[in-house]
Structure 1
Amino acid sequence: MPISQIAVGGREEATHPDALKAALAEFLSTLIFVFAGQGSGMAFNKLTNDGSTTPAGLVAASLAHAFGLFVAVSVGANISGGHVNPAVTFGAFIGGNITLLRGILYWIAQLLGSTVACLLLRFATGGLATGTFGLSSGVGVWNAVVLEIVMTFGLVYTVYATAIDPKRGTVGTIAPIAIGFIVGANILAGGAFDGASMNPAVSFGPALVSWDWTNHWIYWVGPLIGGGIAGLIYEFIFISQTHEPVPSSDF
């Protein structure tokens, strides 16, 4: 049972060089991803007079996030596993594939990476506002929570199938592009309703820099529930219950 594999980790893990290097990799990967994703939205708004809410803007956001995440996961995969997302880290923890202390390090690094990316964008664009996540007209908070749960479930399920599963074989080589594609597809599916975050860090940086916390809790509750469910289901049903936890270097 996955719950039996959950581990807190030793205190030395917080200062171990490998863990600190992994946290730095998560910081840089998240910075790269958020800078590309947020930057594309800001650029599209500037070029089209707030056209990011149009169909063309949605497609542009989907492509930018898919490409950006593909690169961010790829450059971090050999060091930290390329989580780039607190929901992915949480799903890996629930499945017993990362310790709690290492996961907390990742969360701190991911949130800092997103915040720094938004600050850099604001400075580089002469003070333009970073786009915060919000609900479209007619979309209730619980509608958005369900959307975030389902979309993040698909994302973390894809991560498990292509990056964590010990039986993944050669499919592991396409993990970054598969992860990028599912995020891009989910943005096309849910972006018009709640922005399709699937990632608390992606929502946190813009909210902090803009100091706009309207309905921000949705983008934590939904992704964490979705990521946790995906971790439990994949680990319990599809991965051998007796396997050793996957080393962080392999994910």
Structure 2
Amino acid sequence: MPINTIAIGTPREASHPDALRAALAEFFSMIIFVFAGEGSGMAFNKLTDNGSTTPAGLVAASLAHAFALFVAVSVGANISGGHVNPAVTFGAFMGGNISLLRSILYWIAQLLGSVVACLLLKFATGGLETSAFSLSSGVSASNALVFEIVMTFGLVYTVYATAVDPKKGNIGTIAPIAIGFIVGANILAGGAFDGASMNPAVSFGPAVVSWTWTNHWVYWVGPFIGAAIAALVYDNIFIGYGGHEPLPANDF
């Protein structure tokens, strides 16, 4: 990755109307995604009297997250790019596709959106707790870290291939579907082991509302490492230096 593709941005970018609108779009997209995704898990717990996770419950969670993310990415795509994930934003930054200052705005909006969604769920359900992400019995933090790295790599690699690559052509129209599908598939693969977060904001909201922080670091370190690897691999190998499209000047 050539260092000149990395953009820090300027202080005035933090108050630029376009940047603020993009951050607001991320905030609302995150509320849509977390409310539906986390809410599906709460609904399952209510229907099963907080019973143990079943294959049917895992499939339901996978579908709910896939559908919700498809919508959340779609509604934000024309305004913010539809990141709906701090790890995706970090991956975009590593490839020089967003400035650091705008990334920080996105991260704040995404985290706030997740917390607000969980608070809304707690109020709407009469005080039921939003369950924080946790490791299953027999799964160590290092096991979960590998899961999060690999699953987030697949997610961010898909984002680059379908939404970021300047050669994507018509494939860009199915980017939200592809992104939703890979998240749903990863939940089927890793959901029974560590909850399959792939998204620090999705983990952060329930952790704040329930004030549960056990092994929470896994859901930040793993996704950020996976996102960085995917961005570096795709940007350097498949986009290449010659095909790189830098940020518009007003994004710096």
Aligned-residue offset at 1:51: 3.8
Whole-angstrom distance in 1 between the partners of 2:174 and 2:248: 19
Deviation string 1:48-87 (CA, Å, 9 cap, x unpaired) is: 1124611111001000000000000000000000000000
TM-score (norm 2): 0.96
The letter of the residue matching 1:37 is: G
Pairwise CA distance, 1:142: 0.3
Taking a change above 3 Å as real, the CA distance of residues 88 and 52 of structure 1, as seen in their structure-2 partners, is: farther
Query: Take 1:201 and 1:177, find their aligned partners in 2: how far apart are those partners?
Result: 21
Change (3 A) 1:52 1:186: farther
Shift of the alpha carbon at 1:247? 5.5
Between stretches 47-56 and 179-188, larger displacement belongs to: 47-56
Structure 1 moving runs of 4+ over 3 Å: none
- Contact kept, 8 Å, 1:41 with 1:52, in 2: the verdict is no
Secondary structure of 1:82's counterpart equals coil
Q: Would you say the 8 A contact 1:166–1:246 is kept in 2?
A: no
Partner of 1:40: 40
Give unpaired runs (5+ residues) of structure 2: none
The amino acid of 1:198's aligned partner reads: M
How far off is 1:246 after superposition? 5.2
**CA-CA distance at 1:131 after TM superposition:** 1.4
Superposition map of 1:195-206 within 5 A: 195-206=195-206
Distance 2:192 2:77 in 1: 30
Instruction: Show the counterpart of 1:59.
Output: 59
Alpha-carbon deviations, 1:208-239, whole Å to 9, x = none? 00000010000000000000110011000000
CA contact (8 A) 1:73 1:84 kept: yes
Identity %: 81
Contact 2:9 2:102 in 1 (8 A): yes
Tell me which residue corresponds to 1:214: 214
What residue in structure 1 maps to residue 171 of structure 2? Answer: 171
Contact kept, 8 Å, 1:70 with 1:179, in 2: the verdict is: yes
In structure 1, C-alpha distance between the alignment counterparts of 2:121 and 2:52, rounded to whole Å: 17
Distance 2:21 2:227 in 1: 24
Structure 1 residue 123 displacement after superposition: 0.3
CA-to-aligned-CA distance 1:111-149 (integer Å, 9 cap, x gap): 000000000000000000101100011100000000000
Question: Which amino acid in structure 2 is aligned with residue 205 of structure 1?
Answer: G
How many residue pairs were aligned?
248
Give the equivalent residue in structure 2 for 1:160.
160
Q: 2:101 maps to what in 1?
A: 101
Q: Is the 8 A contact 1:2 1:232 kept in 2?
A: no
Q: Secondary structure at the match of 1:241?
A: coil
Indicate the residue corresponding to 1:244 in structure 2.
Answer: 245
Are residues 1:5 and 2:5 paired? yes
Aligned alpha-carbon RMSD (Å): 1.2
